[in-house]
Structure 1
């Protein structure tokens, strides 16, 4: 009898479900049902057409091939990702509804008086990628270096504005970190995703954007990437210097994109998804495509992702306590 890929995955999932090594356990029926038994819905909290949307459509296509069920990417922007998070937190915990989270997933819990979800409502499946956040400026501003940009901002306090992909997002946090470090006053303008933010930079509605380095490099000759907010240069864009190199070591807060499931999702299902998704994001062709989008693929498991999230939450609370981040 020929066993197809989906049957093999289901068999592997049953094994993950906790079969004991005793002879009795080996003959007992599998406790975990076959998975998946329906399409998998992946909710993203940003606008369609942006980096997270493109990333998940790429990963979803590969996951569809592996699991034999369609992976449908659904965009639910708004409220800095809180709308998407609330919807997924309330979804059946069976592995058929997942969510991409980014920095606002944590910062909402610090910034908002009433949050329609808790971090504990979710279990991390995978840290898909880190996203170096860059300062991209409109070429019309005629600032060829970060030093020149700071000089212009100091002569025009409160007149220059920068876009981010949402209030409380990584771009918002890095923007205010840089304002504080450079002693400048530029005005934050939040958008519902990276794409609309960059389009308004192109249109001249805002002069700059704190966005993924891939986004900042997407429009050569129209948007110039001046620096990235990471300790080291992005492997994908080694020609863009770090803020630290240019005199601002405190401007160091990487963006990230992680996949979550509702907290009560069976551990066996989470483990299967972790294994399959991490295998996909580290495929050479997938890594190359993610690199073009400005993502550095990492494929961390749940434990390592949890440790990273704890560190990020501590940094978030420190910046919010400074009073510079408000919604």
Structure 2
């Protein structure tokens, strides 16, 4: 049976209080890791890769639970109602947690959330299905210039990293394409494969999961990905597009500074495990190691960047 955040909260409150423990000894029992999306997406896949390493690093298991709804907002709006004892953590995503509050009331503000570590990044990429006439980004852009508004891009939702990338391409390539938002990566990939859209702006990880069924034309990373060495970056092709989604781990605001740092250190240790590195890179993820001590500066930079993107999307004036 699917457990909601509220159910988890009630169960934790019913449990006997734990004696205070030092952050150095933490954890001494299994932990709960809440994913604010459905199973099968990038947040779930990367958490599952972490899960197999968690016990090796801490001696304790981590149990993954799902709380999907409103593009993650349902779970994030309830995060601070959970106990801050360190034993419940939640997946967190950028730019979602900046763009969602800018777009309207979602039950939380960006500054309400307490990320402690961002451990990976998934670059945006342009995909077409293998039967597509387009072999390169140049061919796609030439077609878009000759047929304004006719090139359609599937993407994983409005006001998302995919949506931002589509707007950037229109501006930099001086074209008019049509972005079609879907309720997540899975449905948007289905649209590409089924020919409902001409192309897609998705995350590079989709290229691994779909194999030869899709062709990646360009990736929005600083350098070519190890898993796709033959795919050029947008920068190589003359377009200054670098972007995607950051994913990490957050805790309730009541969590002590010591436990915040300890959880960040655990995630950093997992990031250094050879088996974890191999799984992540093979799946198309780009590892990052943005710890709690760097969090304020990192989030402030992202807020500035995504606020500018929100203006481009028309979310704010």
Shared fold (TM-score, shorter chain, > 0.5): yes
Shift of 1:323: 4.4
Please report the TM-score for the alignment, with normalisation by the length of structure 1.
Answer: 0.82
CA distance in 2: counterparts of 1:35 and 1:323, whole angstroms: 43
CA gap of 1:176–1:76, structure 2 versus 1, over 3 A, is farther
Gaps of at least 5 residues in structure 1 are 1-12, 17-33
The reply on whether 1:98 has 2:89 as its aligned counterpart is yes
The reply on whether 1:320 has 2:310 as its aligned counterpart is yes
Deviates more, 1:277-286 or 1:65-74: 65-74
Name 2:132's counterpart in structure 1. 141
Name 1:120's counterpart in structure 2. 111
CA distance in 2: counterparts of 1:192 and 1:303, whole angstroms: 34
The reply on whether 1:280 has 2:288 as its aligned counterpart is no
Deviates more, 1:72-81 or 1:54-63: 72-81
Shift of 1:171: 1.3
Pairing partner for 1:302 from 284, 288, 292: 292
Deviates more, 1:288-297 or 1:207-216: 207-216
CA distance in 1: counterparts of 2:272 and 2:244, whole angstroms: 19
CA gap of 1:38–1:87, structure 2 versus 1, over 3 A, is farther
CA gap of 1:191–1:99, structure 2 versus 1, over 3 A, is farther
Q: Higher Cα Rg: structure 1 or 2?
A: 1
Pairing partner for 1:73 from 42, 57, 64: 64
CA distance in 2: counterparts of 1:41 and 1:189, whole angstroms: 35
CA distance in 1: counterparts of 2:291 and 2:41, whole angstroms: 25
CA gap of 1:184–1:194, structure 2 versus 1, over 3 A, is same
CA gap of 1:167–1:303, structure 2 versus 1, over 3 A, is farther
Provide the secondary structure at the position in 2 that maps to 1:309.
Answer: helix
Gaps of at least 5 residues in structure 2 are 1-20
Name 1:7's counterpart in structure 2. none
**Matched-pair contact (CA < 8 Å) for 2:193–2:214:** yes
**Matched-pair contact (CA < 8 Å) for 1:157–1:185:** yes
CA distance in 1: counterparts of 2:23 and 2:75, whole angstroms: 32
Pairing partner for 1:270 from 243, 260, 267: 260
CA gap of 1:322–1:101, structure 2 versus 1, over 3 A, is same
Shift of 1:47: 2.7
- Aligned positions, number: 296
Name 2:77's counterpart in structure 1. 86
Name 1:110's counterpart in structure 2. 102
Pairing partner for 1:166 from 138, 157, 161: 157
